[in-house]
Amino acid sequence: MGEGELEQLQLRIAVLERNLTEAKAHAEIVEREAALQVSRAVELNARLSAILSICAALLISRDVDTVVRLVVHEAAHLFPGTSAAHLFMIDSEQNALVLRAPGDQSIVLKQPGEGLAGKAFLSPRAMLMVGPQVEEALEDLSREQIASLSASMDHWPPYSALLAPLRVEGQRFGSLVLYGGVHAHLYHPRDLPFIQALADLAAVAIDELNQHTHAAALQRDLALTQTLHAEAEARLNTAQAQLLQSAKLAAVGELSASVAHEINNPLYAARNSLYLVEQDLAEDAPQRAFLSIAQQELGRIARIITRMRDFYRPAKAELAATNINSLLRETLELVQTHLRHSRINANADLSAEIPLIVAHADQLRQVFLNIILNACDAMPDGGDLRLKTRLLQARSESPTTIAIDICDTGMGIPAEHRPHLFEPFYTTKAHGTGLGLAISAHIVTQHGGRILVESERNQGTTFSILLPTANE
């Protein structure tokens, strides 16, 4: 082989070696790129799994503080190497961004676009800042704010940062900031979709909780409004019933007064005539028995007329400080003989806390006496009569109330009679006028009170007289 052929052979060998080296280098590049793609795929899969896990956790969170703590905790794991993660939320009362997590530092940003968090809040999407950009953003902060921020990090200032606004349908709730510490190239533009996804998840969870809280508040307001409406309607119905009852009482009173006036004169003439006839009769005259019966019945008519007149125009009494307990004891003394004859045991449980009230004592005594006598009539075979006083603490808009309970163990009042108890001339007694309870209710109403009735057949009846401690 000649020298020329040898040189050509050596040249071919060198070309082959160079091609082989280039092929090996290219193969290594391809291999590295394949490994990088695999690594990125693994990283992407891990981040997607983390996002799904965070989403599931946020769905079961029940308050905003739990949400923000979870997002900050998971953000540090989602982006390894992060030195700190901060979540700021807008505070409408302070009109500022306030650090919500982590909660070991107090940072308030009152100027729009102030610091990294402020720029993230105003940004339309996630941003990556490196080096001078970070330093420029931090120059907006005061010394106190920088001291608070640096206290939560191992290295200050950070060389890189990931920023994302918390937003839902144009509404902004705050911002999420991740700090890269000493790693200037810790974050990459491909990280932006992930931090924005995390911020969006947090915003959706916070918005849902806010909506739930707002809905619960509206529900409470609606329930309160319905309750107030029902109370107002009940008061209106009560007022209408009282107005109707007052109209009935006025009409009956006017009629009673007119009838009483017309009957009184012939009645007194008849009673005087009988008296004169009686004076001319002998002591043993048989007509005296009939005269006595006539005089008794005329006397009964006179008493009925007097009660009718008093119903329309009750006997006037001076307003004075009145002791309800003393008034009840005096009333019981008046009926002691009647109670003994009727085999009725009386018991008084009078509270020492009952204050004096300004009232017409004689009129209230008439009310107590009327109800006690009715209770005695309801126990023809004897029984127990119990009087009790108690002080009812009122709500803020009402005065304190005294409750006087008069309870018997009698026959009870049939249900069909209870709605008509306080109607004039309504009675179930053979010789009753039907004015006693009507007059009693009228007197109690004039004192700013009311009467309640609870009754059960063959178990007894309780009349509760409620009187305000302060009335006009």
Q: How far is CA 464 from CA 236, 238, 408, 422, 459, in A?
A: 22, 17, 12, 14, 16
Residue 14 lies in a domain: no
CA gyration radius, the chain: 48
* Per-residue model confidence (pLDDT) at position 147: 85
For residue 4, tell me if it sits in a domain: no
**Helix, coil or strand: residue 434:** coil
In a domain, 7, yes or no: no
Q: Residue holding tokens 């005294």? A: 402
Residues in CB range of 36: below 8 A, 6 or more apart:
none
Q: Tell me, yes or no, whether 69 and 193 share the same domain.
A: yes
Instruction: Please choose, from the candidates 387, 326, 363, 374, the residue with its C-alpha nearest in 3D space to the C-alpha of residue 448.
Output: 363
Q: Given 210, 236, 254, which residue is the final one in a domain? A: 210
Helices (H), strands (E): how many in the chain?
Answer: 11, 13
Query: Which of 210, 231, 257 is the last residue in one of the domains?
Result: 210
Please indicate, yes or no, whether residues 76 and 206 belong to a single structural domain of this protein: yes
Assigned token pair, 383: 């029984």
Residues 200 and 338 in one domain: no
64 and 182 housed in the same domain: yes
Alpha helices in 313-435 (DSSP H): 324-334, 336-341, 361-377
Write down the pLDDT at residue 264. 75
Tens of each residue's pLDDT in the chain, 472 residues: 566 677 777 777 777 777 777 777 766 676 666 555 555 555 555 566 666 666 666 666 677 888 888 888 777 778 888 888 899 988 888 888 888 888 767 888 888 788 888 898 988 899 999 888 888 888 888 888 888 888 877 778 888 889 999 988 878 889 999 888 777 778 888 888 888 888 888 888 888 888 888 888 889 998 998 988 888 888 877 777 766 666 666 666 666 667 776 777 787 788 788 777 778 777 778 877 888 888 888 887 777 777 666 655 555 556 788 899 999 998 888 888 888 888 999 999 999 888 998 888 888 988 998 899 889 988 989 999 999 999 887 665 567 889 999 999 998 888 888 887 777 776 767 666 667 788 888 888 888 899 999 998 888 999 999 999 875 4
Shared domain for 204 and 328, answered yes or no, is no
**Would you say residue 51 lies in a domain?**
no
The whole-model pTM stands at 0.46
Q: What pLDDT is attached to residue 411?
A: 87
- What does the DSSP assignment read for 138-164? HTTS-HHHHHHHHTT-SSSS-SEEEEE
Question: Does residue 158 contact residue 181 with C-beta atoms inside 8 Å?
Answer: yes
Select from 262, 265, 256 the least CA-distant residue to 307.
Answer: 256
* 3 occurs within a structural domain: no
Residue 182 resides in a domain: yes
Burial state string for 369-397 with b = 16 or more CB within 10 A and e = fewer than 16: bbbbebbbebbeeebebbbbbeeeeeeee
Q: Same structural domain for residues 71 and 201?
A: yes
Residues 186 and 324 in one domain: no
| Whole-Å CA distances, 391 to 197, 324, 369 | 64, 12, 21
Q: Does 255 fall in a domain? A: no
Q: In what order do the strands lie in the sheet with 383-392?
A: 344-350, 383-392, 401-408, 460-468, 450-456
Residue position matching structure tokens 């008046």? 334
Count of the separate structural domains present in the chain: 2
Residue 343 is predicted with a pLDDT of 92
| CATH number of the domain enclosing 198 | 3.30.450.40
Kindly report the average pLDDT of the chain as a whole number. Answer: 80
**113: in domain:** yes
Q: Which of 290, 77, 83 is nearest to 181 (CA)?
A: 83
Residue 277 sits at φ, ψ, to 5 deg, of: -60, -40
pLDDT number for residue 296 = 83
- Position 30 scores a pLDDT of 62
pLDDT tens-digit readout, 145-180:
888 888 877 778 888 889 999 988 878 889 999 888
> Which two tokens mark 373?
């006598």
279 CB neighbour count, 10 Å cutoff? 7
**CATH code at position 351:** 3.30.565.10
- End of a domain among 210, 244, 270? 210
Q: What is the domain extent for residue 128?
A: 58-210
Residue 165: per-residue pLDDT:
93
Q: In this predicted structure, what is the pLDDT of residue 181?
A: 76
